[in-house]
Chain A
Amino acid sequence: MPMPTTDSSTVSPSVTVSPTIVLVGHGMVGQRFLEALAERGLTSTHRVVVLCEEPRPAYDRVHLTSYFSGTSADELSMTDMEFIEKHGIELRLGDPAESVDREARTVTARSGLTVSYDTLVLATGSYPFVPPVPGKDADGCFVYRTIEDLLAIEEWAKARATTGAVVGGGLLGLEAAGALKGLGLDAHIVEFAPRLMPVQVDDGGGAALLRTIEEMGLTVHTGAGTQEVLTGEDGAVTGMKLSNGSELAVDMVVFSAGVRPRDQLARDCGLEVGERGGIAVDASCRTVSDDRVFAIGECALAVDGRVYGLVAPGYEMAQTAAATIAREEAEFTGADLSTKLKLLGVDVASFGDAHGTADGCLDVVYSDSRAGLYKKLVVGRDGTLLGGILVGDAEAYGTLRALTGSVPPVSPESLVLPAGAAGGGAQLGPSALPDEAIICSCHNVTKGAIRGAVTDHQCVTVPEVKKCTKAGTGCGSCVKVLGQLVEAELEASGVEVDKGLCGCFGQTREELYEIVLALRVTSYRELLDRHGREEARGGDGCEICKPSVANMLATLAPAIGADAHVLDGEQSSLQDTNDHFLANLQKNGSYSVVPRIPGGEIAPEKLIVIGEIARDFGLYTKITGGQRIDMFGARVEQLPRIWARLVDAGFESGHAYGKSLRTVKSCVGSTWCRYGVQDSVRMAIDLELRYRGLRSPHKLKSAVSGCARECAEAQSKDFGVIATANGWNLYVGGNGGATPRHADLLAQDLSDAELVRLIDRFLMFYIRTADRLERTSVWLDRIPGGLDHVRDVVVHDSLGICDDLERLMAAHVAHYRDEWAAVLEDPEKLERFVSFVNAPETPDPTVAFVPERGQIKPNLPLLQIGIREMEGTATR
């Protein structure tokens, strides 16, 4: 790593022409300060020297834990060395400041270098607080603050530990405990307060959190202090003694009991510090003792008497200090401690006056500890929303935080009740927010400013608004609300919204489908180069249009004369990974295999074959919600061998991958059931075999019930069939999933032939006109005229296209071939099913499993707790 240094060990002010700014500490806030200097052009008018204690330049401490989930130290880096070089910043790694002489205005570093400063900025951050208990320095005791700390923890855990304890059940403690668990240790959390995360949540929230965390297999001891760390003969940790008298046998201890400002350097040179630490500064972040010295970030005691342990307030201080040095007006008077994070997979958020400290305020609480849900709003006498706590579901955080300080337009009760609950479940969209509401708290951007970006600055996309306002470019937690606002504003101002499929095509999916069909375009390249947006022609396309076009080519292959198999020629380069491997990718890189079991009917021999295959390959098996069997945990190179056995036994691909027909579920029907009026199993099998392999804008599901009791749940399907005494009723547009919708009756008392003909037409009309990833339910609600229009088209042939639709379906049915069998017959396709191109026999060693309930489950190389957000909100 390049490390610009000064060559002389003492630099006197007379030699330096330009005034010098010395920054002590190159952490997150220090780096932001350097950027703020550069933005104001101060790096060209000043010499800037940075003393950095750590062996590496600033990195993202907030995402430190993601190191354990595979993010490398390099990836955590926040410093672009080009930036440092371009601005001529003298960055001295591993060379901390040891003393400051304020009279002489010099700083001396460990290397002996003495630099004279005109302005000194302290950004020394915090150090982890370790309670003064006996044994705290034993081998096997750690803190959790730097990359070096993590490396040491990892090494010890791998070499000598099976059980670990974390002292402190706050935000960082839970992260550390999650990290230990991810390293394969049994983890204990010891928290002195009676609940977890005592600063952020109250007792109710703590209880919901506790339950969820315990369910994850962590052991929690609340209301217990650490009395002593016990050690063995070799001086290494063997256990812990708690204040409640109990003892834990552990091989390592991580202290995460809070942080303290690193203000020793400031104390030593006589700068004023607060009673409980922190370098005292004024509103412009200048120290109260010396107007040539500033302090920013976690080491500073802000003018409101607080030390902020969050990065967003630190960033604001960095801006303030840089602005003050540039002689601009700027103030940092305080920030609130709103936080939202995903800890070990649990959403936790608190905002505003979360603990209800205001006079006469009232609580509105919804709690369901069974589901791990806890929501509390703090409301003033006049109905003003003052703050709140959300555990288990923090979906509403963005909106609620922005509403804080105003009277919400609906009752507070309806804001905490779950959606669908009687009298509640109000979903407040961003349209309910006032213009002053802060949408992006990282950059203090109001709703009004975002609307302005659209109305006054002609921004028509979210990326443009981000660039123009900076909203959404910090922690990212506001991006969802941002998108909704931009869309609403565009619609309101009548701006023509780009309806194109993606950055490569200006056409909608429907328009592209018409082009492909009418012009018989069989190649993606040709489509892109002739019909793509000017700037995308000749390029590589993108991950949105490629699978979409591949999907169309597959549906239309027989009609336009395209290659028949999804892995033929160019088509193989367009498929999403599931279609490319004809299996479903799982979180650890392995795949699941789902053979078709039409109508859910299966003979015992075939069941046995599935059992044998799963046993022989060691696969996890599960009965799916679609009346068939899923086998999980196959590696790429095992797929063809599994298919070979399945195909031998008469199975074929179930198309669990791909946007295509999934299953046609059935009830037992008139053959066995005393109520059945038609043979629902036979009809389900017929339909499944007819439409198998049909690629469509989104997946297609179906079911057939033998009578109105509806045991097959046909009304929740894209096309559902229910037997009547006279034939079949056809329902369309049903959906389960996140937004369930009951299907609408399209036609009644149909004969077998009429039923099939109507479904043919319905499906092909949907495939032709729907948007990408639009289920039939959404499509039906979107298209002008809705159900009536669809009925006109497919029943009464109002557009005169029914012959075409039927012809297309007939071609599909006639050309269907099992995709697995086709691969097995083609050595060139088979060649692709390897983990490594240069070691075809070697299985991917990162795909590993551990036992659970007599089967396997993925042993994730990592723990997925790095993904979470947190922020501080400035109050104005």
Chain B
Amino acid sequence: MTTAVATAAASTLVGTFVQLRAGEDWLPVCHLDRLVPGRGVAALLPGGHQVAVFLDRAGRLHAVDNRDPFTGAAVLSRGLLGSHQGRPFVASPLLKQRFDLATGQCLDDETVRLTTYEVRAA
């Protein structure tokens, strides 16, 4: 059933842009169709921050800090997406810690949390 939702969502969004909230403004970062469901891309904010943007299977967008807090490398956009009890997460490609994409909370270490960013398709 989710498949249907995903296709519907994706088709209504054709030609739309992925936009990140930067202060008051929305910064367009790429065409929505650049995102493969289940994978991420990295975007550079004007201030130099790096944001990892993901599209999940249900067609929802997520954005978190690109920096892996366990190693300091800016690689989270290259991690794999998964879902646990219906909540999407990304697993770091370096040492595999998982982070809830909605809250940024690390699922393997309760003391670690990523900054999340507002993201939309418009």
Q: Which residues of A contact B (CB under 8 A)?
A: 60, 63, 69-72, 74-76, 78, 476, 503, 525, 529, 535-536, 538-543, 546-547, 572-574, 576-577, 580-581, 585, 587-589, 831, 835-839, 842, 844-847, 860-862, 864, 867
- Give Cα A98 to B112, complex, Å: 33
Contact residues of B between 89 and 111, Cβ < 8 Å to A: 91, 93-94, 96, 98, 109, 111
Q: Which residues of A contact B82 (CB under 8 A)?
A: 539-543, 546
Determine the distance from Cα of A844 to Cα of B78 in the docked complex, in whole angstroms: 13
Instruction: List the 5 closest A-B pairs by CB distance, nearest first.
Output: A542-B82, A862-B72, A577-B93, A573-B38, A543-B91
On whether A837 and B93 interact (CB within 8 A), knowing A70-B72, A846-B74, A860-B72, the answer reads no
Contacts of A836 in B (CB 8 A): 41-44, 50
Nearest to A535 among chain B residues (CB) is B85
CB-nearest residue of chain B to A540 = B83
* Distance from A632 Cβ to chain B, minimum over Cβ atoms (Å): 14
Which residues between 65 and 80 of chain B lie within 8 Å of chain A, taking CB atoms?
A: 67-75, 78-80
Chain B 39-67, CB within 8 Å of chain A: the 1/0 string? Answer: 10111100010100100110000000001
With A576-B93, A837-B42 as known contacts, state yes or no: A76 contacts B78, CB within 8 Å: no
Contact B74 A837 (CB under 8 A): no
Name the residue of chain A whose CB is nearest to the CB of B20.
Answer: A838
**Known pairs A572-B39, A837-B34, A838-B30; A547 contacts B80 (CB<8 A):** yes
User: B111 and A76: CB pair below 8 A?
Assistant: yes
Contacting pair B79 A577 (CB below 8 A): yes
Q: Which residues of A contact B8 (CB under 8 A)?
A: none
How many chain B residues touch the partner (CB < 8 A)?
Answer: 51
A574 to chain B, nearest CB (A): 7
Q: Which of A535, A589, A842 contacts B44 (CB 8 A)?
A: A842
Q: Does B36 contact A (CB under 8 A)?
A: yes
Taking CB atoms, residues of chain A closer than 8 Å to B85 are 535
Measured CB to CB, the nearest residue on chain B to A536 is B83
B86 contacts A by Cβ under 8 Å: yes
B113 interface residue (CB < 8 Å to A): yes
Q: Which residues of A are found within 8 Å of B79, using beta-carbon distances? A: 543, 577
17 CB-based A-B contacts, threshold 8 Å: A70-B69, A71-B112, A75-B111, A503-B84, A540-B82, A543-B80, A577-B78, A577-B79, A585-B93, A589-B73, A838-B28, A839-B44, A844-B42, A846-B67, A846-B73, A862-B71, A867-B70
- Nearest B-chain residue to A837, judged by Cβ: B41
A72 near B71 (CB under 8 angstroms)? no
Q: A494–B114 Cα gap in the complex (Å)?
A: 41
Chain B residues with CB below 8 A from A75, complex form: 69, 111-114
Say whether B29 faces chain A, with CB atoms less than 8 Å apart: yes
Complex alpha-carbon distance, A70 and B75, angstroms: 13
Query: What CA separation (Å) do A846 and B111 show in the bound complex?
Result: 24
CB distance from A142 to the nearest CB of B (A): 23
On B, residues with C-beta under 8 Å from A are: 1-3, 27-30, 34, 36-39, 41-44, 48, 50, 53, 56-57, 67-75, 78-86, 88, 91, 93-94, 96, 98, 109, 111-115
Contact check, A540 vs B70: say whether CB atoms are below 8 A apart.
Answer: no
A565–chain B nearest beta-carbon distance, Å: 14
User: Is B69's CB under 8 angstroms from A585's CB?
Assistant: no
With A576-B80, A864-B72 known, 6 other A-B pairs at CB within 8 A are A71-B69, A71-B112, A542-B80, A589-B73, A589-B74, A844-B74
Select from chain B the residue with minimum beta-carbon distance to A545. Answer: B82
* Bound-state Cα–Cα, A837 to B40, Å: 10
Task: State in angstroms the CA–CA spacing of A169 and B5 once bound together.
Answer: 60
In the complex, the chain A residue whose C-beta lies closest to that of B5 is A538
| In contact, A573 and B72 (Cβ under 8 angstroms) | no
With both beta carbons as reference points, the residue of chain B lying nearest to A838 in the complex is identified as: B29
| Complex Cα gap A581–B112 (Å) | 27
Whether A572 contacts B36 by the Cβ 8 Å rule is yes
Q: Which residue of B lies closest to A839 (CB)?
A: B44
Set of chain B residues within 8 Å of A587, measured between Cβ atoms = 71, 73, 94
Measured between beta carbons, the chain A residues less than 8 angstroms from B84 are 503, 542
Q: Say whether, besides A539-B57, A540-B38, A587-B71, A846 and B115 are in contact (CB < 8 Å).
A: no
Do A837 and B38 have beta carbons less than 8 Å apart? no
CA distance A70 to B115 in the complex (A): 12
Tell whether A538 pairs with B36 under 8 Å between CB atoms, given A543-B91, A836-B42: no
Name which residue of chain B comes closest to A541, CB basis: B82
Contact (A581, B111) CB under 8 Å given A503-B84, A543-B96: no
Task: Give chain B nearest CB distance to A253 CB in angstroms.
Answer: 26
Chain B residues positioned under 8 Å from A525 (CB to CB): 3, 57
A577 touches B44 (CB 8 A): no
**Which residues of A are found within 8 Å of B109, using beta-carbon distances?**
476
- Given A589-B75, A846-B73, A74:B113 Cβ within 8 A: yes
Please, which residues of chain A bring their CB within 8 A of the CB of B28? 838
Q: How far is it, in angstroms, between the C-alpha of A72 and the C-alpha of B114 when the chains are bound?
A: 9
- Collect the chain A residues with CB atoms within 8 Å of residue B37's CB: 573
The residue on B at minimum CB distance from A831 is B34
| Chain B proximity of A539: nearest CB distance (Å) | 4
Complex interface: chain B residues within 8 A of A574 (CB) = 38, 80
Q: Tell me, in angstroms, the Cα distance from A837 to B84 when the chains sit together.
A: 27
Q: Nearest chain B CB to A16's CB is how many angstroms away?
A: 34
Residues of A within 8 A of B56 (CB): 540
CB distance from B50 to the nearest CB of A (A): 7
Q: Could you tell me if B71 and A585 are in contact, using CB atoms closer than 8 angstroms? A: no
Chain B residue with the shortest CB-CB distance to A539: B83
Contact assessment for B38 and A838 in the assembled complex, using a CB-CB cutoff below 8 Å:
no
Asked if A838 contacts B43 (CB within 8 A), the reply is yes
Q: Taking CB as reference atom, which chain B residue is nearest A60?
A: B111
Q: A76-B111, A836-B42 are in contact. Are A845 and B72 (CB under 8 A)?
A: no
For A577, give the chain B residue with the smallest CB separation: B93
Let me know if B88 and A835 touch, CB within 8 A: no
Chain B residues with CB under 8 Å of A845's CB are: 48
Report the separation of the CA atoms of residues A535 and B87 in the bound assembly, to the nearest whole angstrom.
Answer: 12
CB <8 Å contact, B78 and A78: no
B70: chain A residues at CB < 8 Å are 867
Please give the distance in Å from B32's CB to the nearest CB on chain A.
11
CA distance A138 to B60 in the complex (A): 55
CA of A672 to CA of B37, assembled, Å: 55
